[in-house]
Amino acid sequence: MARAGEEALIARYFAPLSGPGAEGLRDDAASLTPSPGHDLVLTADAVVAGVHYFPDDPPGSIAVKALGVNLSDLAAKGAVPRGFLLTLALPDDWTEAWLSAFAEGLGASSLEHGCPLLGGDTVRSGGPALIGVTAFGELPAGTIVRRQAARAGDRLCVSGTIGDAALGLALRLAPDEALDPAHREALRDRYLHPRPRLALAPVLRAHARAAMDISDGLVGDLTKMLSGTGLTARIEAARVPLSPAARAAIARDPARLATALTGGDDYEILCAVPPEALPAFLAEAARVGVPAAEVGIVEAGAAPPRVLDVAGTAMAFAAGSFSHF
């Protein structure tokens, strides 16, 4: 099948995903009217073939990841999605089949999260595919939850389970046939399909003092949360929530615990909650269907955060933070 030119490609695959203000993608810009009394929250993250995903991942999964990693940032800030722009840089050998499946996955994810496509750009990459998303959310004016606003004594909490995606990636690079196939599939799925914790956004606004999403590993991202603030933290490894699949993988190889704690792509939320707000935070998180757990505490001091094992000894990690760069 002959490949479509840029205009035809947009009309065929992306115009059906467009929302109000996008003019059916027939203009050079979109308009967005924020709700009265609200701030916009803006975030941009790109994923690159061979860097952030495997070039032969299902195109729909790549789309889910490209949008999901951005929605995860909005969730961590306490924002409700309003829309996104897509910068799609295609390799010279792109196919209509790939693009069709990509657009289908993107549309499904966009619909699921109430985040319509508002515009974007399509270019030749001259190399691997790059999918850049800019996502827009909104929240009541002045209520954005910042990354570096924790105080000593705040309790550190995480949503969901930690390390699944990193273990999923590790098992793709070094398969472990002895692990239960259902567990292998669960971990693989977490690597492929981030689950932005948007349901937690209002709970974070109400109760968290600081928050970020965990994209580069719990240990590394906690370090970023406190870097330069004069604060440190202590986490108890035994309190970090692990999925049954992660537990099974770690049981077969205890070194995988470090992978779980430092590997990337969790897209869970890390937040600092004042102690007096902790019960309400945990209860409301459960009520919106996002399990959350207390894992540690913020303390005064400039040392790097520590992760303590069951004996109370600080664990040492070869790499503190996963980096896609």
Binding residues for Mg(2+): 28, 43, 45, 73, 121, 213, 216
Secondary structure (3-state) at 117: strand
Residue whose pair of structure tokens reads 């894992």 in the numeric block: 295
Q: Choose between 121 and 309: whose C-beta lies nearer to its own copies.
A: 121
Q: Which residues line the annotated binding site for ATP?
A: 120-121, 147, 215
Between 3 and 42, how does the x/- string for binding to its own copies read (CB under 8 A)?
Answer: --xxx---------------x--xxxxxxxxx-x--xxxx
80-90 and 117-124 beta bridge pairing: parallel
Q: Which residues line the annotated binding site for substrate?
A: 52, 265, 322
CB of 30 to its own copies, least distance (A): 5
Residue whose pair of structure tokens reads 């947009």 in the numeric block: 10
Using the rule CB under 8 A, give the single segment among 74-82, 164-172, 295-303, 309-317 that binds its own copies: 74-82
CA distance linking residue 240 with residue 257, whole number of Å = 10
Residue 33's region, left for phi above 0, alpha for psi from -120 to 50, else beta, is: beta
CA distance linking residue 297 with residue 278, whole number of Å = 12
Q: Choose between 126 and 230: whose C-beta lies nearer to its own copies.
A: 126
Give the closest residue to 129 by CA, choosing from 164, 103, 99.
99
306-308 and 231-236 beta bridge pairing: parallel
> Considering the rule CB under 8 A, would residue 300 count as an interface residue with its own copies?
no
CB of 93 to its own copies, least distance (A): 13
Q: Choose between 199 and 278: whose C-beta lies nearer to its own copies.
A: 199
Residue whose pair of structure tokens reads 């709970």 in the numeric block: 203
Residues with Cβ within 8 Å of residue 229, at least 6 apart in sequence: 148, 150
Residues 100-159 that bind its own copies (CB under 8 A): 118-128, 130, 132, 134, 136-137, 141, 144, 146-148
CA distance linking residue 76 with residue 68, whole number of Å = 12
Q: Choose between 100 and 148: whose C-beta lies nearer to its own copies.
A: 148
Q: Choose between 29 and 111: whose C-beta lies nearer to its own copies.
A: 29
CB of 139 to its own copies, least distance (A): 8
Residues 103 and 13: beta-carbon distance below 8 Å: yes
Q: Choose between 128 and 153: whose C-beta lies nearer to its own copies.
A: 128
CB of 304 to its own copies, least distance (A): 14
Give φ, ψ of 294 to 5 degrees.
Answer: -80, 130
Tell me the site size for its own copies, rule CB under 8 A: 67
Residues 86 and 130: beta-carbon distance below 8 Å: no
Residues 188-227 that bind its own copies (CB under 8 A): 212-213, 215, 224
Query: What are the distances in angstroms from CA 308 to CA 164, 216, 295, 313, 318?
Result: 20, 20, 11, 5, 15
Q: Choose between 51 and 182: whose C-beta lies nearer to its own copies.
A: 51
Q: Choose between 181 and 228: whose C-beta lies nearer to its own copies.
A: 228
Using the rule CB under 8 A, give the single segment among 48-56, 60-68, 200-208, 241-249 that binds its own copies: 48-56
Q: Give the type of residue at 204.
A: L
Secondary structure (3-state) at 80: strand
Under the rule (CB under 8 A), what is the footprint of its own copies?
Answer: 5-7, 23, 26-34, 36, 39-52, 73-74, 76-77, 79, 83, 85-87, 89, 118-128, 130, 132, 134, 136-137, 141, 144, 146-148, 212-213, 215, 224, 228, 323-325
